Amino acid sequence: MLPLHPFMAHIPLVLALCLPIVVVSSIVFIMKKKISPRFWWVPVIMQITIVVFSYIALETGEAQEDTVLQFVAKPFVQQHENAAEIFSGLGVILLGLMVVVLFVGESLARNLRFLTAALSLIPIAAGLYAGRLGGAIAYTHGGAEAYYQVEGEEQHGILPTPGMNTSESEFPINELELNNPDQDADDEGGDERDNVNTEVSPDDESLPENEENRSN
């Protein structure tokens, strides 16, 4: 079974990368009065999604921590977890600031929007760093081997072992014979040659007698 944590961890990171674009676009269109200030709910909802999935990623990571620790030293895992917690904490702070914008006057809200656009870059740095550490755990320190091992244990005993009668029928089949048809053909050919030699040998013994009779 594939681990759930990498999938859940990528969702908030991808959304966090897109958030500054949404925030800046919202600020520009609100300033030009192309959209209502209430459109600010769009980046707010987006940030709520980031926070929710970041904590889901933390929970799935903790659930799979014991399995990975069998192959990776704990300091590497702890460092990755700390970076992920920083990313989640910054997301909560940013969300609180974005919610405040909805309930203050427009003059203050405009300044807070600019501040939000600038601060939205900080969680990205933390998220990318956490992702880099997670990738190192999986591919550099051997964390992915934990799930290769689990897959191998799940499949153990399913495939037939050569030389063993693994058929469930009343007449089990030897897999060595099935896997080596050329050897079987050689064995059969050898038996036929032995039979031919056995049948011909009496005639060979009588040949000298026939030659003596013809000479007489």
Position 179 scores a pLDDT of 53
Position 84 scores a pLDDT of 94
Long-range Cβ contact pairs of 129-134 (< 8 A, separation 24 or more): 129/83, 130/9, 130/80, 130/83, 130/84, 130/86, 130/87, 131/9, 131/10, 131/13, 133/76, 133/79, 133/80, 133/83, 134/6, 134/9, 134/80, 134/84
Give the tens place of pLDDT for each residue, 102-155: 999 989 999 999 999 999 999 999 999 999 999 888 888 877 777 775 444 444
* Residues in CB range of 159: below 8 A, 6 or more apart: none
Which regions in the chain score pLDDT beneath 50? 150-171, 173, 175-176, 200, 205-207, 216
Predicted TM-score of the model (pTM):
0.66
